[in-house]
Structure 1
Amino acid sequence: MSVEAPPEDESRPRFRDTVRRLPATVWIVSFGILVVRIGNFLPIFMVLYLTSRNIPPAAAGLVLGAAGLGNVLGNTIGGYLADRIGRRWTITLSMVATAGPTAVIPLFDSLPVLIPLAFLTGMASQIYRPASAALLVDATTTDQQRLAAFAVHRFAMNIGAAVGGVLGGFLATVSYQALFLGNAVACLLFAAIAAVMLRNVTLARAGRGAGPASDAPEPSYRQALADRRLRRFLVMTLIAEFVYIQSTVGLPLHVDAHHMSPADFGLLMGLNGVLVLLLELPITGMVSRRPPGPVLALGNVLTGAGLAMTGLFGDMRWLAATVLLWTLGEMLYASMASAYLGGLAPPSMGGRYQGLYGAAITAGTGVGPVVGGAVYALGEWALWAVCAVGGLVSAWLCLPSRKAAA
């Protein structure tokens, strides 16, 4: 991935003004994301549901693994459909297809049924993601506008996740049937939002979201992967997500090893959530005029360093400082990465580029817990060393390659 620094343009509007002037499409998509994230209980409470049915941890891992594999496949299918049938219908199809399997999960406790059901649900639930991201790119015309759109999108996701966690905990005390029915209802609401509110949207970039032009070569994933910048970006994403997900693997293991309670781990993760909600938009605004490469590199370095330093401390004050460090890396990285990718994609392959990006994210977060747990079992120091090296390698991949500089 190579990024050349654009000339500084002092005439560009302030970031807050860019946010206020975002097209209606951005707000509609972000509202839909807010709704579906509030009701996205399945990934959070699936383990608790499985253990409530007396399913052993090893078997529960098979169910979660099937859902994770479905996530990767769903992103690639979603990228194809977004370019083929359009963004709006891809989102609608994904949400309707997710609602049915999600609603019936509590009716079964047999692994031969739950494993394929989890796979189908995981696949359908991710098909919308490339289409929604591509819509944000379609609706924007400048780099700053695109960055603002993805920042608002992430803010909606984070608000939805925070509210959804609390609401899901309440519904789980009522019944798991209510929990998963609520998830299905949220999916259907997003489908309705996409089908109705996105019906007459005007795209800022002509030719996007309606399939390839008749005189253009047929787009394909092979054609997308011929882009060296995209390949470098995907490798960076895979490594960066692997490192970041160790916050949910190595950190709780470290907390337990130092005889702290699950509540302590919850406080640390709560600190992460509060910081992201309060500071991500302002920080994104601060770096909005900077070239993306160095910003992404710094974000990856801080994430890797913050997680690596976890192994040096055993009390809450210092662990909170490490959380602050890797959360700052997360805030620098997340919206900027999505916006940068949006600028790479040709008009006819916006969905495919986003689909590959989503597949890289889900692959990194899916493999991360398995590999991270195995490395931790060899030695805790080994996991933190892997985080440090991973942060440096992913940062290096954000900077211009020698070929690009030549």
Structure 2
Amino acid sequence: MSTAPPDLSGVGEPRFRDALRCLPGRVWVISLGILVNQVGNFLPVFIVLYLTGGGHSAGAAGLVLGASGIGRVLGNAVGGHLADRIGRRRTIVLSAVSTSGLTAVVPFLGPLPVIVAVVGLIGVTSQIYRPAAAAVLLDSVAPTNRQRLAAFGVFRFAMNIGAALGGVVGGVLADTSYTGLFLANAAACLLFGSVVAVLLRDAPGPPSGRDGPDGPDGPTDRAVGYRQALADRTLVRFLLMTVLAEFVYVQSTVGLPLHVGDVGLGERDFGLLIGFNGLLVLLLELPITGAVDRYRPEYVLAVGNLVTGAGLALTGFTTDMAMLAATVLVWTLGEMMNSSISQAYPGSLAPARMVGRYQGLHGVAYTIGTGAGPLIGGAVYAVGPWALWALVGVAGLLSAQLSLPRRRAASARPTGPDS
């Protein structure tokens, strides 16, 4: 297993904008598919309003969300296994078709236990595609930092546009008919699967990774599995960092709105702050990704986590919109520095036949952080707002420290201006 990633400096590579222009068609196909999928991804956003509007209690809605969260963790693990086992394309199509069918029946479900079971299954199936989609990007480009960041940058851009459009479209549909909302969600999933089934082909040759199938770290089929992946200390360190970093970031949807209310501002003000974050991401994330691609990714992750943690921790010292907007600018900068790098980085660690599993474990860590973050953040804020913002600051420091390479791994690498 790996002790350190290979040298990912940008020496001898084309500029970032040239890398974007030269991306292969498979990157654009999967990005188009994720754009369609995100535009129609209504269920996670509107399921609580649907349940409470239909007479279910807030506790029942929380139970459904809990089942969905557990399903999302399992879905990433299953998806990583399937991506390596049956191929990227088949895994994505399986995920899209099964999610489409399950989502279409949601508005016709009756008893709460049935809703819990079906939404939990949707949590699984809706995440199965994620490790496979990431593996498609890694398979499609040269194994260099700049090429990988260009691919994930385009993918993230498509995802962000889809999410922004989806919020508007979903609000219109929900105001008209929840049945239409969920059927539209099902149709978007089916269209996503159709785009991938028709336009995408698995890459020829050996799968992407640190080594080819006969390389020193290319395990045989009998030695491939999550047990082997978790023996990689560098990966485990990265996964712990991911959990902490996502716990910090998700406080923008937990601690931030609570603080906005405490200082006498309202829902409209919170919406403006989140809209400011979204606008910054759409306008600046790709340029910032291109600006940091020349640096060693571990150091960029460390700085990004530090900036995100500092920006959110400073929320506790703000009392008006101008100060809050300034903190949003800070933590959004950290978010933009980290977003594409954190998705691409496991590809630099994974042996050739385990790319899907490494991406699956990253998805598991991401989902645990975003799932546990609201529960822990809300409970700590109830004890005292100062406690949450102190915890966010400490977690930001820890995630930055975990981003840095271990000393033995760092000393094994050659030094240079771009390393």
Whether these two folds match at TM > 0.5 is yes
For residue 391 of structure 2, what is the aligned residue in structure 1? 386
Contact 2:219 2:351 survives alignment (8 Å): no
- Tell whether 2:346 aligns with 1:341: yes
For residue 102 of structure 2, what is the aligned residue in structure 1? 101
Contact 1:246 1:372 survives alignment (8 Å): yes
Change (3 A) 1:3 1:293: farther
For residue 199 of structure 2, what is the aligned residue in structure 1? 197
Q: Which runs of 4+ in 1 moved over 6 A?
A: 211-215
Q: Distance in 2 between matches of 1:133 and 1:215?
A: 20
For residue 55 of structure 2, what is the aligned residue in structure 1? 54
For residue 72 of structure 1, what is the aligned residue in structure 2? 73
The root-mean-square deviation of aligned C-alpha atoms, in Å, is 1.8
Cα deviations by residue, 1:351-396 (Å, 9 ceiling, x for unpaired): 1000000011011100110111000000000100111011110000
- Tell whether 2:220 aligns with 1:216: yes
Cα deviations by residue, 1:271-315 (Å, 9 ceiling, x for unpaired): 000000000000001111111011100100011001100000111
Q: Distance in 2 between matches of 1:34 and 1:217?
A: 34
Q: CA deviation at 1:5?
A: 6.2
Q: CA deviation at 1:202?
A: 3.6
For residue 401 of structure 2, what is the aligned residue in structure 1? 396
For residue 36 of structure 1, what is the aligned residue in structure 2? 37
For residue 164 of structure 1, what is the aligned residue in structure 2? 166
Q: Give the AA of the match of 1:269.
A: I
Change (3 A) 1:296 1:3: farther
Among 302, 306, 312, the residue aligned to 1:301: 306
Q: CA deviation at 1:12?
A: 2.3
Q: Distance in 2 between matches of 1:4 and 1:92?
A: 32
For residue 414 of structure 2, what is the aligned residue in structure 1? none
For residue 130 of structure 1, what is the aligned residue in structure 2? 131
Contact 2:73 2:364 survives alignment (8 Å): yes
Describe the SS at the equivalent of 1:127. helix
Change (3 A) 1:8 1:171: closer
Unaligned runs of 5+ in 1: none
For residue 14 of structure 2, what is the aligned residue in structure 1? 13
Q: CA deviation at 1:107?
A: 1.4
Cα deviations by residue, 1:156-189 (Å, 9 ceiling, x for unpaired): 0000000000000000011000100010001000
- Aligned residues between the structures: 402
The aligned runs of 1:305-324 (5 Å cut-off) are 305-324=310-329
- Tell whether 2:360 aligns with 1:355: yes
Q: Give the AA of the match of 1:355.
A: G
TM-score relative to the length of structure 2: 0.93
Q: Distance in 2 between matches of 1:152 and 1:377?
A: 39
Among 179, 182, 207, the residue aligned to 1:180: 182
For residue 121 of structure 1, what is the aligned residue in structure 2? 122
For residue 144 of structure 1, what is the aligned residue in structure 2? 146
Q: CA deviation at 1:258?
A: 1.4
Describe the SS at the equivalent of 1:13. coil
Q: Give the AA of the match of 1:356.
A: L
Q: Give the AA of the match of 1:180.
A: F
Q: Distance in 1 between matches of 2:276 and 2:206?
A: 42
Q: CA deviation at 1:3?
A: 5.8
Describe the SS at the equivalent of 2:56. coil
Q: Give the AA of the match of 1:103.
A: A
TM-score relative to the length of structure 1: 0.96
Contact 2:273 2:325 survives alignment (8 Å): yes
Describe the SS at the equivalent of 2:295. coil
User: Which range is displaced more, 140-149 or 300-309?
Assistant: 140-149
Change (3 A) 1:104 1:395: same
Q: Give the AA of the match of 1:299.
A: G
Q: CA deviation at 1:221?
A: 0.3
Q: Distance in 1 between matches of 2:225 and 2:169?
A: 41
For residue 415 of structure 2, what is the aligned residue in structure 1? none
Q: CA deviation at 1:4?
A: 7.3
Q: CA deviation at 1:217?
A: 4.2
Q: Distance in 2 between matches of 1:261 and 1:245?
A: 19
